[in-house]
Structure formats: structure tokens, C-alpha cells
Structure 1
Amino acid sequence: MSEAKTNTGSNEKSAQQLLKFVVELGPLVVFFLVNARAGIFWGTGLFIGATLISLGASRLLFGRIAVMPLVSAFVVVVFGGLTLLLQDELFIKLKPTIVNAIFAAILFGGLYFRKSLLSYLFGDVFSLTEEGWRKLTFRWACFFIFLALLNELAWRLLTTDQWVTFKVFGIMPVTMLFAISQVGLLQRHALDKPAGE
């Protein structure tokens, strides 16, 4: 009976994670499709709208808005707004660089003050040793720097349409591969959970 409950709980958690992924990915898909049809400025305008709708959906469906999508949405609204106001696509292209640099600075700042900030975000998902959280936080901070530099190269070397495609279909797989590559660290530094948990 308890195994059936565990499986049901696990299935519900997986379904919730999938729904969260769809809600967070939605604005990027809107951005890609509208840019392809109507150009970067229409794409940016609807990207802003879709991002705000995504935040509302997260609040409604999950009862809270995660920190990372909130920071990202703030930068989308500010830099997307500047893109539309000044009719200059540079601002929306800088958005991924700025968001990733902010995340890296926050994580490195936490480590400087001996705080592994990822443990506050994902402590209910993973149970790790202090060393494990420290290493995971450092790796993600470095990865955010890598993403910021990658975006800087991409928007300078690619056309606008190529950059949008790269942003939607390049960054997500790279991020997922990086996350999967951290499974070994998670296993090595996992804390034993009490029986039945």
C-alpha cells in the first residue's frame, strides 16, 4: 500500500515538474514563432506578454513563483521594453547575458559568504552534504558564466533569426546536458534519507 502511495506521489511530482517546464518554456516558444512570422519587435512584445502570463500561471498552478523565473521576467520586461521603446534589438539580445551574469554573481557571492544558495532553492528536491551543495553551487555559477559568454558570442556572430533559434533550441539542450552531467555529484554527496521517506 505504501509503495502504491510512493508511486502515486512520484507520478504527481513528475507531472508537476513537466507542467512547470511547459509553463516556463512557453514564452520562449512564443518568441521564436512570432519572430519567425513578424520579426524581432513583435516577437519581443509578445515575449514580454507571454512571460508575464507564465508568471501568473506559475502562481496559480504551483502557489508560488520561483526566484529564477522571477529575475528572468524582470530583465525581460526591462530590456524588452527598451527594445520596443528605442526600436533597438540589441537590448533583448543582451537579456540572456545579463540574467546569467546575475545568477552567477549571486551564486559566487553566496559562496564568498560561505552560503550555498542552491540549497535554499533545491533543498526540498535534493538532500546533499554541505560539500555537495558547495560544489554544485560553484559548478552552476561557472555554467552561468559560460552561458553569458556563449550568448555574447552568439548575438555578435549570428543573424537575429539565427540568434533567436539558438536561444530557443540551443541553450535549453545545453542546460539540460549540463544538469544531467551533475547526477554523479548528486549521488556522491547525497545524504542518506530515513527509511520510508
Structure 2
Amino acid sequence: MSEKSVNPMLKLGLELGPVVLFFVAYTRMKDREFDLFGQSYEGFIVATAAFIPVLLLSTGLLWWLTGKLSRMQLMTAVLVVVFGGMSIWFNDDRFFKMKPTIIYVLFGGLLGIGLLQGKSYLRSVMDEMVPMTHEGWMILTKRVCAFFLALALANELVWRLMSTDAWVNFKTFGLTALVFVFFIVQGPLFARHSTEEDKT
């Protein structure tokens, strides 16, 4: 199914909205405890419980509007349900904090497997957005693979060594900013290996 045209700002809002709402919910509830079904839950767990349906709704709307979801969007939704659900079931925030690590290790590992085979799996999902030569895609894939593994390590260090407040800020703003800066820095690579001129 071909991807439908959708307002870029609406798409961005649906992609980032659940994370922002989680941050707002956490900041409002972090110092409170909630007694539910005979058990006491910290604000973080309650915010996580609210985040899961919001993310699933957002992902469903993206699929309905665009007619397509990336593998990363699907995997993120699955892991949010699994690890978020485990945090709620066991009343333990560590499961949800590990989720970004698992996501980045999975995708970094998949890209690494492709590289060992001389392939760029990244190209198969981004080729239409960023037309480049094979060499350019291989270079970018190596960089993205290393970047994902570095983000996984960073997430582990933050949630294990720092406070929950620090981790929530890192997840909401730090990871988003790092991804944005990373792709901005790749500008010279995109320009050097672009194939757009070949199509004109």
C-alpha cells in the first residue's frame, strides 16, 4: 500500500505527542501514590499505564492517515505494550526504562547484520526520502548502527545511575535532540552522495 499524503505537522504531532503527554503526566503525578485494586502505585507507573493506550491510538491514527507504518513504529508499539505492561504488572519501573535500550539494540543489531551481508536495510525504508548512492547508504547505515548502539548504552547509564526525573527528561528531550542533531550532521554525506541530479 502506497503512503498517503498527510500534513507534516500533524504527523509530527502524532509521533511526538504521546512522549510529550507522558512527560506532562509524569511531572504532575511523580510525587503522588495511587491505590488501585488494592495495590499502591507510584506516579511513574500510572503515567506509564496512561501512555500505552495513547501511543497505540496515535500509531493507529498514523496508519489510518498514511496507510503505512515503519518497522520501527510497529516494533516500538509492541515493546511499549510488552515492557510497559510488565512495569504495571510487576509494579516495577525498571522494565519500562529498559524499553529504549531494547529498541536501539534491536535496530542497531539488524543494521549490523545487513552490513555483514553487504546490504543497507536502512535504504529499504528511507530510499524514497533520501535518494543516495549505494556507497552513501552503506556509510550512513554504519553511522546509524553505531549511533543506535551508543543511544542504548546512554539509556542504560542514565536509568541505572541517575534519578527517574533525569531519565524522563533524557527520554523526552535528550533522545529526541540527539536524533535530530545526528541527522543534521549527516547533511554533507547526503549532499555528497545524492542521486537526485541523476533523475533530472
TM-score (norm 2): 0.87
Q: What residue is the counterpart of 2:199 in the other structure?
A: 194
Q: Residue 90 of structure 2 corresponds to which residue in structure 1?
A: 86
2:104 paired residue number: 100
Aligned with residue 132 of structure 2, among 128, 143, 146: 128
Counterpart in the other structure of 2:32: none
Aligned pairs (5 A) from 1:143-158: 143-158=147-162
Residue by residue, what CA displacement relative to the aligned partner does 1:78-117 show, whole Å, maximum 9, x if unpaired?
0000000000000000001000000100111111112101
Give, in whole Å, the separation in 1 of the partners of 2:53 and 2:23: 14
Higher share of residues assigned helix:
1
Matched, 1:162 2:166: yes
- Partner amino acid, structure 1, of 2:64: L
Identical aligned pairs, as a percentage? Answer: 41
Summarize the alignment of residues 113-124 of structure 1 with structure 2, pairs less than 5 Å apart.
113-124=117-128
Q: Aligned with 2:128: secondary structure? A: coil
C-alpha distance in 2 between matches for 1:18 and 1:68: 20
Q: Which runs of 4+ in 1 moved over 4 A?
A: none
Aligned partner of residue 28 in structure 2, secondary structure: helix
Equivalent positions of 1:48-67 (< 5 A) are 48-67=52-71
Q: Kindly provide the amino acid, as one letter, of the partner of residue 88 in structure 2.
A: L
State the distance in 1 between where 2:125 and 2:8 align.
15
**In the alignment, which residue of structure 2 is the partner of 1:26?**
17
Structure 2: runs of 5+ lacking an equivalent = 30-42
Three-state SS of the structure 2 residue aligned to 1:126 is: coil
Deviation for aligned residue 1:20? 2.0
| Mapped partners of 2:20, 2:49: distance in 1 | 13
Output the CA distance in 2 between the equivalents of 1:121 and 1:148: 21
8 Å contact kept, 1:30–1:46: no
2: CA distance, partners of 1:112 / 1:194: 30
Deviation larger for 159-168 or 136-145: 159-168
Structure 1 contact 48–77 (Cα < 8 Å) conserved: yes
What is the CA–CA distance in structure 2 between the aligned matches of 1:154 and 1:18, rounded to whole Å?
Answer: 30
Corresponding residue for 2:35? none
- Between Structure 1 and Structure 2, how many residues are aligned? 183
With structure 1 as the length reference, what TM-score do the two structures score?
0.89
Q: Are 1:24 and 1:69, in contact at CA under 8 Å, matched by a contact in 2?
A: no
Rounded to whole Å, the distance in 1 between the matches of 2:14 and 2:155 is: 23
1:72 counterpart residue number: 76
